[in-house]
Amino acid sequence: MVAVAAMTIAIAWRVWPDAPRASTRRFADIPRIDVHVHVPPALAERALRTFREHGGVVMALNASGGHPNGGGLEESAEAMRRTNGALRPYCHLDLSRVERADFADYARRSLHACRDAGAVGLKVFKALGLGISLADGSLLAVDDPRLDVVFETAGELALPVLIHSGDPQAFFEPATRDNERWDELSAHPSWSFHGARPDGHGAWPSWREVFEQYERRVARHPRTRFLGAHFGNAPEEPETVARMLDAYPNLFVETGARIPEIGRHDPARMRALFVRHRERILFGTDFQIGARGTLVLGSAGREADPPSRVPVFYEAHFRYFETADRRFAHPTPIQGDWTIDGLDLPRDVLEDLYWRNATRLFGISAPPGRSTP
């Protein structure tokens, strides 16, 4: 009975971390711009109330902005107008059309429509490299040259590209109980990219293969600004992220849904990375709100996250960035059973992270009372 009780307590801690301490909000006066959220346009006002109340987020960039010309972007643009620019959309393109003869024309027209609608940038999902199949059954690679027109045009139109390539490295390992991300993989078997593809067309690529495709894509378009989602698509390898930031001035990264991963690296090394690249790292959470108002706080389990977890989610982020605390619960327990260590970033670096870099990259106005050099 004692063992069962102990196990119950352990599971409860893992799924429901302790409420945050009030002292973690050392810099509550700094406004936040969250560059990676997912919000249905109809729930824009509700989402923004949540973001402001619990996270101090005064503006959010919606990665679920939709396609132009009847694919949802018009509704997202209307939500942007209703909220006075507090929720701004990225736009999407249908990259599965790449084998059509008119693809280049489609891409150019669509990106011009995105810009005209007020989209802040282009969002490229992980389906590129891991989901879009070509006529021969192979996967459309991130660096397929037929897509060059997309990224070159985005650069010409000053539309930054938020790009998600690959996924956690553990998703490319066997989906067994020995996998450190078993909680997610058991809840979502389709998130596994190990072994044979379910469509019968060979095996999944390795994590490294997809990542190398992504790096070649960034290198090929020096005049296009890329925002590497989920800490540059390599949170397990901060040294790789640092190397790319050194090599590619057009690359930026955001922190969405990867505080659990980057937070378990040596805090001194991570702090040095954030300080060295202080103008290239942006604040993102990957906070998701479903069409019916359901919440996903960094990653989805079998059930939606309850609203009571929203303050815990945000405070774990701020405790990581703003304090030198050690071995505390990260914001998304389903992503792994470990603790993280805080960075204790100085105020000027936090200003860059939380809002200033977003205004520079996306060309948007600074929050009230702030000015961008």
12-64 confidence digits (pLDDT tens): 334 444 444 444 567 999 999 999 999 999 999 999 999 999 999 999 999 99
Predicted local distance difference test score (pLDDT) of residue 25: 64
Least confident piece of the model among 2-16, 172-186, 203-217, 309-323: 2-16
245-293 confidence digits (pLDDT tens): 999 999 999 999 999 999 999 999 999 999 999 999 999 999 999 999 9
CATH homologous superfamily of 32-362? Metal-dependent hydrolases (3.20.20.140)
127-146 confidence digits (pLDDT tens): 999 999 999 999 999 999 99
**How confident is the prediction for the chain on average, in pLDDT?**
93
Predicted local distance difference test score (pLDDT) of residue 252: 99
Mean pLDDT, to the nearest integer, of 233-245? 98
Of 91, 24, 62, 38, the C-alpha closest to 321 is 24
Of 129, 359, 354, the C-alpha closest to 254 is 354
**Confidence bin at 215 (pLDDT 50/70/90):** very high
- Ordered by start, the domain boundaries in the chain are 32-362
% of residues, the chain, pLDDT over 90 = 91
Cα angle for residues 38, 97, 165 (degrees, 5° grid): 45
Mean pLDDT, to the nearest integer, of 170-181? 97
Predicted local distance difference test score (pLDDT) of residue 371: 75
CB 76 within 8 A of CB 49: no
Mean pLDDT, to the nearest integer, of 202-231? 98
DSSP assignments along 123-151, one per residue: EE-THHHHT-B-TTSPBPPTT-GGGHHHH
